[in-house]
Structure 1
Amino acid sequence: MIRQVVASLIVLVAAAAAWMFFVPSSTATLASYGIVLPFGTPAPEQASQRPGGGQAGGLGRRPGAARTTNVVTTPVTLATINDSLVAIGEGTALGAVTVSSPAGGTLAEILVRPGQTVARGDVIARLDADAENIAFDRAKLAADDANATLARTEGLASSSLVATTALTAAQLAAANADLELRNAEVALSRRTIASPIAGTVGLIKVTPGNYMAAQTAVTTVDDTSAITVDFWIPERYAASVAPGMPVTVAAIALPGRKFEGEISAVDNRIDPASRTLQLQAEIPNEDQMLRAGMSLSVAISFPGEQYPAVNPLAILWSAQGSYVWKYDAGKATKVMAEIVQRNSDGVLVRGDLAPGDAIITEGLLQLSEGTAVTLLDGPDGSAQEAAATP
């Protein structure tokens, strides 16, 4: 028992000696309890009476001197987002028609070939028209005879040699004859198939000699002097688009080529299923490089929204959200910075920041509001020496 007590006392004395030897503030702690040792570091009161007012040897900070932290900063820049939009659309011809036979009959001849350019009203094909030609000639003869009879009757009526009823009958006969002639002209014109628009002829879908019913498709004619692109954009851009805005179009089938055009039409409602808005753009096609049905990429440029951009290393988090430390007149100031978008070269934030503000990126963990800091590297890239504490 005695040996154990002695051993415990020896351990306690050794621990006390080690504490007084290795802990500089041990003598001050003992002095606060009224225990003054003849050796060791003097108490704070004694140290304050030494020349220079410092600790042993006159070294160290002055009592109450503020602690400074060395930091590195980078400047705030401005970045733009939502400044462009790319959508995929399908090209269609400015004008496109399917040319059909206006009447039934045997196809007599085709007067065009695929790829040929035609003007409005050019004849594409003809049906057999023998019966219609005979009917037209007969109607013309009847109309000529009726008009001649009317002229003779009017001459006799002026001399009061015929009754008024005879003149009326002659007028009615001439009018009916003219109607029959016009009807024969219409029937004869329907034996000719003409293009209703100017454009390029597509593939011929019928062969001469075959019988065609009315409204049988013969070919297609596309006006590709310009291409119309139908595409859809998200509804958040609805207020930013209007007819006349410029667009840039790229064709997947024509890599490296760009075509300029403009928005020609904007739909008047949002599609409730997809939450998108349909637009049409018109692209001039003088060199005929674009074709109807092509898949086209449409790019639209907007003024965009500008936000402060900071170095990703500057972003910290607290219970209130993300924030950064701003260097302001030698001190660190906390600024809340809501993250808008993360990019590879910076983070776009929403906060009380202006272009050129110095944002601290190194030495962050030792900062608190109002901490005095020494700037080692500023936004201008010039290194600064740490201020020496007197």
Structure 2
Amino acid sequence: MKNPSQKKSQTRNLVVIGTLVLLVSFIAFRLYANKKEINERSEAVPKGITAMPVKVASAELRTLDKSLRFTGSFEARKTLPLIAEAQGSITQLNIREGQSVSRGLVVARIDPTAVQSNLATATASYNNAVKNKERYERLVEAGAISQKQYEDVALNVENARASLTSIQQQMKYTVVHSPMSGIIGEVKVEQGSFATMGMQLGTVVDISSLKMVLKVPEEDVIKLKKGQPVSIQTDVYPDHTFQGKVTLISVQADAGRKYDVEVEVKNTSAFSLKAGMFGTAALDAQTGDQGEKLFIPRKAIVGSIKDAQVFVLGANNQVALRKVEVQNASGENVIVLNGLTPNEKVITTGQINLQEGQTVRVVD
């Protein structure tokens, strides 16, 4: 027979167990209710909302635009330095920046005092050598000296003549002439400053014609030819079109894989261009491609141009990854050679996370 304390303990255990059973039942009921609510909400949401949002573009037939446009800056066709070839103080400076000069114009004079002194000495030495040679000619004819002695004296004359010629040339160098007709680009010295041999006094530029330097990408440079005509527009003369021609196509690309293309443009007084101005050059691609071509946006390409793929929008808004053959075209589009037909839609935005057969939602 159980004592009262045992009965009390047994009752307490039954209460605890009952409480736990009720608690577990309540939790299970709440979980079931929550799951049912979640399922009901999921069923209430349209399935299309979960589709990947994308943007599309149609493959379009267009007439191939053969016009290529590039911006570039004008540069002087030729720039030559004005070099001092004598040493001394600049006693006369006849140029200023922007001044027109003709070939042979005296642009500067250098103090000739030191050269004049050397010239006088060299002239006297040469005259003495000539007189000495004449005297030795008479002596060798009389047999008073040997032929070898005469030849040594004759050699002295040649040496004296060479020295005199050199100093005479130095005297000419004290006068600096413009090597060509043009415009003085810059003046680097002042009258009274000291010039050394090889010092650059300034520059003269020939702007009777200018060259426009274009940076052309590799896919376009192969479409250009030397000698082809070029039309050029500038901001400074918006109503005038300049005509030029391609004179140089570089064979070496720069670090950005672009090639220098030089265009020669004749300068006129009516529409005078200056080095440093900018313009836009229009050239026709020198290719045999004619007629209509199939174009898609370049950004639709998945992978590289050489191994290109695109996501094509199909029935029920499902996408298919398709291999295509394309070639570069100028601007934001590429030409499709194989793999697509006109009006097929390709994904242009949102294709990074797409997979074959996935359903998408087209957005504007």
Per the normalisation by structure 1, the TM-score is 0.56
Q: Hey, what's the Cα distance between the residues in 1 that align with 2:292 and 2:251?
A: 32
Alignment correspondent of 1:373: none
Alignment correspondent of 1:306: 291
Deviation at 1:230, TM superposition (A): 1.3
Q: Hey, what's the Cα distance between the residues in 1 that align with 2:102 and 2:274?
A: 19
104, 107, 120: which one pairs with 1:137? 120
Alignment correspondent of 1:278: 260
Alignment correspondent of 1:58: none
Q: Hey, what's the Cα distance between the residues in 1 that align with 2:192 and 2:238?
A: 44
1:1-390 matches, within 5 Å, as: 79-271=62-254, 273-287=255-269, 289-302=272-285, 305-307=290-292
Deviations 1:210-233 (A, max 9, x none): 223444432220011110111111
Instruction: Please say if residues 307 and 350 of structure 1, whose CA atoms lie closer than 8 Å, have aligned partners that are also in contact.
Output: no
Q: Hey, what's the Cα distance between the residues in 2 that align with 1:282 and 1:229?
A: 6
RMSD: 3.6
Question: Which secondary structure does the structure 2 equivalent of 1:270 belong to?
Answer: coil
1 or 2, which has the higher helix percentage? 2
Q: Hey, what's the Cα distance between the residues in 2 that align with 1:215 and 1:308?
A: 60
Question: How many percent identity over aligned positions?
Answer: 24
CA 1:222/1:279 → structure 2, altered by over 3 Å: closer, same or farther? same
Deviation at 1:118, TM superposition (A): 2.8
CA 1:269/1:207 → structure 2, altered by over 3 Å: closer, same or farther? closer
Structure 2 residue identity aligned to 1:280: E
Q: Hey, what's the Cα distance between the residues in 1 that align with 2:212 and 2:194?
A: 38
Deviation at 1:167, TM superposition (A): 0.6
Question: Which secondary structure does the structure 1 equivalent of 2:192 belong to?
Answer: coil
Structure 1 residue identity aligned to 2:273: L
Structure 2 residue identity aligned to 1:279: V
Instruction: Please say if residues 307 and 349 of structure 1, whose CA atoms lie closer than 8 Å, have aligned partners that are also in contact.
Output: no
Question: Which secondary structure does the structure 1 equivalent of 2:291 belong to?
Answer: strand
Deviation at 1:113, TM superposition (A): 4.1
Larger Rg: 1
Structure 2 residue identity aligned to 1:294: M
Which piece of structure 1 moves more, 175-184 or 97-106? 97-106
Structure 2 residue identity aligned to 1:102: E
- Number of positions where the alignment pairs a residue of Structure 1 with one of Structure 2: 254
Deviation at 1:109, TM superposition (A): 0.3
Q: Hey, what's the Cα distance between the residues in 1 that align with 2:214 and 2:87?
A: 40
CA 1:240/1:308 → structure 2, altered by over 3 Å: closer, same or farther? closer
Instruction: Please say if residues 82 and 305 of structure 1, whose CA atoms lie closer than 8 Å, have aligned partners that are also in contact.
Output: no
Q: Hey, what's the Cα distance between the residues in 1 that align with 2:261 and 2:63?
A: 25
Question: Which secondary structure does the structure 2 equivalent of 1:248 belong to?
Answer: strand
CA 1:203/1:171 → structure 2, altered by over 3 Å: closer, same or farther? same
Deviation at 1:174, TM superposition (A): 0.4
